């Protein structure tokens, strides 16, 4: 099971982590006997026995259920990498903060985004691809440590991510605080829209 292997890999990698956790498909909830109420699935069904207790005792990991403020987390200086399905928004949020990624694309534009990150930017390492892809703890540990530990590959990915961060910031505002290319283009678009609207209203 993917969730089980990921949990084992996070623990074995010996790195600090924050895991925004959702129960895997099929374990989210199950109907109670009256068929009107639901209750949470038992985590022991898909996490290693004693996993939560061990990570709490070691002070290495934190499980956050269902939701967390992703942009605020990515902006924190202690974040070394981000495991993502590579949706467009998540990819841009990570790159905007100079955070390299472990990629696990599922569907839609995600595989393309992951390939772009790897082949064009060089700011990620692939973990798996697809909803039913098989993942093994040992391989995931290697990839987590590759991107998190000091070493040629990890340092290059961090540098590339930081280079893109600066490009994004410069496209918003330059060093003098003036509008960058993206901000200027958006401003021009809005102005053109408003002018067109005025012309239509006058007709």
Q: Scanning the structure block, which residue is given the tokens 């590339």? A: 160
The number of beta carbons lying within 10 Å of the beta carbon of residue 60 is: 15
CB of 46 closer than 8 Å to CB of 171: no
Domains along the sequence of the chain with CATH? 2-178 (3.40.50.2000)
What does the mean pLDDT of the chain come to?
83
- Each residue's pLDDT tens digit, 54-82: 999 999 999 888 789 999 999 999 999 99
CA 6 centroid distance within chain? 15
- Each residue's pLDDT tens digit, 107-162: 999 999 999 999 999 999 999 888 877 889 999 999 999 999 888 899 999 999 99
pTM of the model: 0.76
CB of 26 closer than 8 Å to CB of 19: no
Angle (nearest 5°) at CA 92 between 91 and 95? 85
Angstrom distance (rounded) from CA 186 to CA 182? 6
DSSP structure class, residue 107: S
DSSP structure class, residue 151: S
CA distances from 79 to 4, 15, 33, 135, 199 (A): 23, 11, 43, 24, 50
């Amino acid at each position: 099971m993917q969730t089980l292997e990921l949990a084992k890999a996070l623990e074995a990698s010996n790195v600090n982590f924050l895991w925004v956790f959702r129960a895997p498909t099929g374990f989210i909830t199950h109907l109670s006997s009256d068929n009107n109420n639901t209750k949470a699935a038992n985590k022991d069904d898909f996490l290693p026995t004693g996993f939560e207790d061990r990570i709490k005792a070691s002070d290495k990991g934190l499980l956050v259920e269902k939701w967390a403020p992703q942009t605020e987390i990515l902006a924190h200086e202690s974040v070394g990498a981000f495991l993502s399905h590579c949706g467009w928004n998540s990819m841009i949020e990570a790159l905007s903060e100079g955070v390299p990624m472990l990629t696990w694309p599922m569907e839609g534009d995600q595989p393309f985004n992951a390939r772009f990150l790897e082949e064009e930017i060089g700011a990620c390492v692939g973990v798996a691809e697809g909803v039913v892809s098989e993942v093994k703890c040992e391989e995931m540990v290697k990839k987590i440590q590759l991107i998190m530990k000091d070493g040629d590959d990890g340092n290059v990915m961090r540098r590339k991510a930081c280079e893109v961060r600066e490009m994004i910031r410069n496209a918003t505002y330059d060093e003098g605080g003036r509008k960058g290319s993206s901000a200027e283009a958006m401003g021009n678009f809005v102005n053109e829209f408003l002018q067109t609207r005025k012309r239509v209203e006058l007709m």
